[in-house]
Amino acid sequence: MSHNSLRSSRMTFYVTRIAMLVAVATPLMMFDFPMPIFPGFYKFDLSYFPVVISTFSMGPVAGFITAVLKNLISFLIAGTFTDSAGIGALADTLIGLSFILPAGLIYRKMHTKKGAIASLSIALAVVSVFSCAFNYWFLIPTYSKFFGLDAVLGMAQSACKYVTDVKGIIVLGTLPFNLLKCLVISILTILTYKPLSKTILKKPK
């Protein structure tokens, strides 16, 4: 295969695989659901599972594109004029990127199963810190402006009676929710990435 043909084949591979993974991630994001043990404004979904697969297979840039596209499409399908004006979509994008980008950058240097486990473990730590800080300084104050702090606290207290303030939401809601969500996605990635990389995600040579 000539250099130009190989380059064209690889470009086609990247475009089609990103499109395929976005097509999988978008409905997964739309089929989200609340969990009784967490505040109702935290919805559980597995849409970042295809995004992590994209990141491991094609690199952090591909993962970034996949994440942004699936959030943009989901936001447009759900309706542009929402009560939160897209704050939830923005939050999902930024928190998701704080998980996939560290994982992708580390896995690119340690391209083994141990590297995958290490990269996802470090990414779990990064997303935990970032999600807590982001929720405390931006997301919860923003939602409080739209719905009122009492309403936000009320939703949190309906899931956990020990929540009394914003810090309580972070410690008893934000942190365990994002750890659980990203841990499930990490386990799914470790179990499925190798088989996928040898079949539908096999790169042209």
C-alpha to C-alpha distance for 175 and 99, rounded to whole angstroms = 13
pTM, to two decimals:
0.91
Q: Are 110 and 119 in contact (CB under 8 A)?
A: yes
The answer, yes or no, to whether residue 2 has pLDDT greater than 80, is no
Q: Which residues contact 90 (CB under 8 A, 6 or more apart)?
A: none
Share of the chain above pLDDT 70, in %: 93
Domains contained in the chain, CATH given = 3-197 (1.10.1760.20)
C-alpha to C-alpha distance for 14 and 5, rounded to whole angstroms = 14
The answer, yes or no, to whether residue 130 has pLDDT greater than 60, is yes
Across all residues in the chain, what is the average pLDDT? 90
Residue with the bigger pLDDT between 77 and 24: it is: 24
Provide the 10 A C-beta neighbour count for residue 204: 12
pLDDT of res. 83? 53
- For the stretch 48-85, pLDDT in tens is 999 999 999 999 999 999 999 999 998 888 764 455 65
> Exposed, middle or buried by CB within 10 Å (0-12, 13-18, 19+), for 145?
exposed
Region 117-130 average pLDDT: 98
Q: What share of the chain is helix, strand, coil (3-state, %, to 5)?
A: 80, 0, 20
C-alpha to C-alpha distance for 158 and 74, rounded to whole angstroms = 28
Q: Are 146 and 117 in contact (CB under 8 A)?
A: no
Tokens of 151: 């309403």
Cα→Cα distances 117→46, 64, 168, 177, 193, Å: 18, 20, 30, 20, 12
- For the stretch 145-168, pLDDT in tens is 888 999 999 999 999 999 999 999
Number of residues that make up the chain: 205
The least confident of 52-56, 90-94, 95-99 is: 90-94
